Amino acid sequence: MNELLDYQYVVYELCGEKYAIKINEVYEIIRLKKITYLYNSKSYLEGIINLRGKIVPVINIHRILGLENYSDTKSTRIVILRFNDELIGTIVDRVIQVAKFSDIQPTPETVDEIDGNYFEGLGITQDGEVIAIMKVDKLLNAEY
């Protein structure tokens, strides 16, 4: 758990709740752009976008985590993650800040009614706020 304290985290919002992701897993953050729907068997795959000439898949984490679907607002962003040498976009409702945690607690069985397996742990900020840290490989390899 302790090595998790050394990282910086990107904190973002999904349906009003805050979540964090390790900053070194983030490739870049872009505005929501037209996503081309891609018909396939993975229901959480939202489609593909053109990222400066590259085709990048975008997944819907709202759907994976069983949250209410995102709505297209001014603050909606696509967080592009680097995963297995590939770029994969995830849609978030808002990006809030970059933060470090002063303490990290193990994940309980569920976090806001979401399966605890999706999280590395709970990060506690200096202000005492509790933010769940996403486990990227679990998220991206979701079986639906």
Partner 1 sequence: MCKLYDSPEFIRAFLDEVDEQLELFEKNILNLERDPNDEIIRALFRIAHTLKGSSAAVGFEKMKTLTHKMEDVLDRIRTGKIKVTKPLIDVLFRCLDELKTLKEEFSSKGNNIKTDITLTLSELHKYISGDQLLKKTVGAEINKEFKLDLEQQIQIQQAVASGLNVFVCEVKIKKDCVMKAVRAFLILNFLNQLGTVIKSEPDMTDMNDNIDVESISYLLITEFDKEQLKVKVLDRMLEIESFNADLFDLSLIQSQSDNGCNVTKDSGYEKQNTNEIRNKTNQTVRVDIGRLEKMMEMVGELVIEKSRISQIVSLLHERYSSDNSFEDLEEISNQISRITNELQELVLKVRMLPIKQLFSRIPRLVRDLADSLHKEIELVIEGEDTELDKTIIEDLADPLVHLIRNAADHGIEAPDERLKAGKNPKGTIRVNAYHQENQFILVVQDDGRGINLNKVKEVALKKGIISRQESDLLNDKEVLELIFKPGFSTSQSISDISGRGVGMDIVRNNINKLNGVIEVETKEWEGTKFIIKLPLTLAILNGLLIRINNEIYAIPVSNVIEIVRLNEKEIKKIKNQDVVIIRERTISLIWLHDYFKVRRNIRNKNIVIVILGIAEKRFGLVVDELIGNQEIVVKNFGSYIGKLDIFSGATILGDGNVACILDVAGIVKTTAFKKSYDKEFA
Q: Which is nearer to partner 1, 34 or 128 (CB)?
A: 34
- Give the closest residue to 35 by CA, choosing from 21, 11, 5, 56: 56
- Minimal distance, residue 108 CB to partner 1, in Å: 30
CA distances from 32 to 39, 90, 107, 118, 133 (A): 20, 10, 30, 24, 23
Q: Which residues bind partner 1 (CB under 8 A)?
A: 34, 36-40, 45, 47-50, 53-55, 57, 83-84, 86, 88, 140
* Cβ atoms 110, 124 nearer than 8 A: no
Q: Which is nearer to partner 1, 40 or 69 (CB)?
A: 40
Q: Which is nearer to partner 1, 2 or 40 (CB)?
A: 40
